[in-house]
Amino acid sequence: MFTHISGKSTKPPLHNKKTDWTCFRETLDEVITLEIPPKTEIGQFQHAVENITKVIKKTAWQATPDRNEQYSKEERPIIIKQKIAEESKAHKCWQLIRASQDKHTTR
């Protein structure tokens, strides 16, 4: 078993069940301006699409609280990280072998 547990860096979700959709809509209405002329060059159009995408993501992240407010993955105590790793290993073993003694070691 590894003595060091490394966490994967994941992108925060754009929304969850605690997303404040009213705040999201209001902020988006304030920030986005759609003033692109119909005869716009492809490069300018692509740049505008990239900007709109960035604004939508930033606004969604602002309106969505982190679901793990107590501990982020980096702040979790090492004992919790070790228990999660043990459970994942036991579950994987059970999935591969389906032995009844392995099932009782998970959860």
Pair (59, 24) in one structural domain: yes
| DSSP of 3-62 | S---PPP-PPPS--TT--HHHHHHHHHHH------SS--HHHHHHHHHHHHHHHHHHHHH
Tell me whether residue 7 is in a domain.
no
Whole-number pLDDT of residue 70: 46
Residue 92 domain flag: yes
Domain assignment of residue 34, yes or no:
yes
86 lies in which domain range? 75-107
- At 13-23, the pLDDT tens digits run 788 888 888 99
Has residue 53 been placed in a domain?
Answer: yes
Q: Do 23 and 54 reside in the same domain of the chain?
A: yes
Are residues 82 and 55 part of one domain? no
pLDDT digits (tens, 9 = 90+) for 25-51: 999 999 887 777 777 788 888 888 898
The domain total for the chain is 2
Residue 51 is assigned to a structural domain of this protein: yes
